[in-house]
Amino acid sequence: MRILALAGSLRSGSYNRKLLAVAVRAIGARAEIDTLDLRDVAVPVYDGDLEQRDGLPEGARAFKGRIAAAEALLIATPEYNNSVPGPLKNAIDWASRPPGNPFRDRTVLLMGASPGPFGAVRGVLAVRQILTALHALVIPAYVTLPHADEAFDASGDPRDPKVTERVTRACDELLRITAALGRRD
């Protein structure tokens, strides 16, 4: 099984990158993980005129290819203004442009971390809405981490072992559901 793992934050020290690393460790050798940095598939702000003139940017084509090569997605997203961070939404918008929809039938686990008391839950729910509209199979399990500014030690590991347990349970669900559904291309 191949899983594309990405954080919706561009910041190298982001809490969501740290949370994603916990999930990647929890999955371990049970799946092949393709970890994506959104900066590696950089795209301009979506513009239909640009798309008509030049087609899909190289970053969008690369992102679509990596999604298509995976059976599942693991996304850790922050919450910006109670919603989806712009870079993540923009990348999804470009990748969903024809031809094809690489999100269709991909199993998805969503997570979010925030220094606030809600743990990016509104951002997670907004991404869920978008991916559901794109016919992704967003699993019921999700992880939110409030007070993320206090949640990790200096090495990036969660201070509370319950965080690792929650992430591991959610990753177990992602693997179980994805395996049960089989490849759906």
Q: Which two tokens stand for residue 94?
A: 């470009």
Q: Tell me what pLDDT residue 12 has.
A: 87
Query: Which stretches does DSSP call E strand in the chain?
Result: 2-7, 32-36, 72-76, 107-113, 137-145
The two most distant CA atoms of the chain are separated, in Å, by: 51
Q: Tell me what pLDDT residue 111 has.
A: 98
Whole-angstrom distance, CA of residue 100 vs CA of residue 68: 10
Task: Give yes or no for residue 1 having a pLDDT over 70.
Answer: yes
Global pTM value: 0.96
> Cα dist. 119→52, 59, 60, 78, 182 in Å?
39, 29, 29, 8, 31
pLDDT tens digits for 108-135?
999 999 999 999 999 999 999 999 999 9
Q: Which residue has the tokens 């970890």?
A: 35
